[in-house]
Structures are given as C-alpha cells and as structure tokens.
C-alpha cells in the first residue's frame, strides 16, 4: 500500500509535432556525432529516485528524464537534481508540443513499458486527443 503523504514519483507526457528545429539533440555516445543522432521522441517519462541516501547531504537521488519513440526506441535520457527540474527540462525541449503530464499508475511495475505502450495507443488514436 502506498503512503498517501508521499507525492507521485513517475509521470509520462506525449510529445506532439515540434514546430521548428529541435532545441536539444540527443546522440549515442560522446563526442556528439551527427551520424548517431537519436530519434525525436513520442513520449517522455520522468522517474524520481526516492531511495534515501546515507552519508553527507542525505536526501534522494534526483530524477531521470527518459525519451522514447512509440516503437520503444530510446531517444535519450538525462539526470536532473529533482523531479521539478526534469519536468522543466522536458518543457524547455518540447515547448507547446508537450502534452500535459499524467501520473504512471502505482500498480504499474515497469514505467518504461507503460510509457511506450501509452504513446503507441495514443498515437494510434490521434484524432481523439
């Protein structure tokens, strides 16, 4: 059973059509190589790390922002110091193309598979949203 005092830690949002050029480009590896550009995502997933840390500073471990296509291809990932920072980064990258966030249901074990399936299902019914 969940703790009702704890805020949700996993969210997804669809990414619609981008107007203009991408603000941020993700590539496989470093240094940046145009031949290894990752695809434009259809969905973003943010997952907060709520694992308590021991030692100086304590606290949680920030949040990861994952980007996927509706076919399950990884389109990049980045670490952020908080859930709010990760969501702000997604808003910066995708602007008005970012559809409002929804919480990943607590009973879902694999948030990544949920995000990809959600994007696939929603994009197959585009006229409905």
Per cent of the chain over pLDDT 90 is 55
What is the model's pLDDT at position 1? 42
Q: What is the pTM of this model?
A: 0.80
Q: Where are the domains of the chain?
A: 10-19+39-50+59-128
Mean pLDDT, range 19-31, rounded to an integer: 62
Q: How far apart are CA 46 and CA 57, in angstroms?
A: 23
Tell whether the model's pLDDT for residue 110 goes beyond 80.
yes
Nearest alpha-carbon partner for 85 in 118, 61, 53 = 61
pLDDT in tens, 36-58: 778 889 999 999 987 655 555 55
């Amino acid at each position: 059973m969940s703790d009702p005092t704890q805020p949700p830690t996993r969210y997804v949002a669809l990414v619609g059509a981008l107007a203009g050029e991408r603000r941020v480009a993700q590539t496989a590896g470093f240094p940046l190589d145009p031949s290894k550009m990752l695809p434009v995502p259809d969905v973003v997933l943010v997952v907060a790390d709520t694992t308590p840390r021991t030692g100086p500073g304590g606290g949680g471990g920030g949040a990861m922002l994952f980007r996927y296509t509706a076919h399950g291809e990884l389109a990049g990932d980045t670490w952020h110091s908080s859930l709010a920072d990760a969501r702000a980064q997604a808003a910066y990258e995708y602007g008005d193309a970012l559809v409002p966030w929804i919480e990943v249901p607590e009973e879902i074990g694999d948030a990544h598979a949920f995000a990809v399936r959600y994007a696939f299902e929603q994009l197959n019914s585009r006229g409905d949203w």
